[in-house]
Amino acid sequence: MTLQAADTLALTDAVRALERPSVGARIANVVGSPIERLIGMLPARASSVIGAAARKAIEGALKLSLRTLATNDPLAVGAPPPASTG
């Protein structure tokens, strides 16, 4: 199996992105570690409330993003990505 030039380029870009985290990802990692430690020190009930609120926010963001997908986008209706169809 051979990859088309565009697929090879996309794969190269993906590897580069995964091997070199963005500045935002590095900052989130630095800031997130102390926050995670702080949450770990909270009573179980407080930690549970924070977790439930975070889950609700993430689910709401997911629902909103799914509603904004274009209905004519082949990836939005379950079609396989072009690179996976050979």
pTM: predicted TM-score of the whole model, two decimal places: 0.46
Whether residue 53 is predicted with pLDDT greater than 90 in this model: the reply is: yes
Question: Residue 66: its pLDDT value, please?
Answer: 84
Question: CA nearest 79: which of 1, 63, 12, 70?
Answer: 70
Torsion (CA) 51, 57, 61, 63 in degrees, nearest 10: 90
Instruction: Please state the rounded mean pLDDT for residues 12-26.
Output: 87
Percent of the chain with pLDDT over 90: 28
Q: Which residue has the higher pLDDT, 27 or 85?
A: 27
Question: Residue 59: its pLDDT value, please?
Answer: 95
Instruction: Please state the rounded mean pLDDT for residues 22-40.
Output: 86
Q: What's the 3-state SS for 71-82?
A: CCCCCCCCCCCH
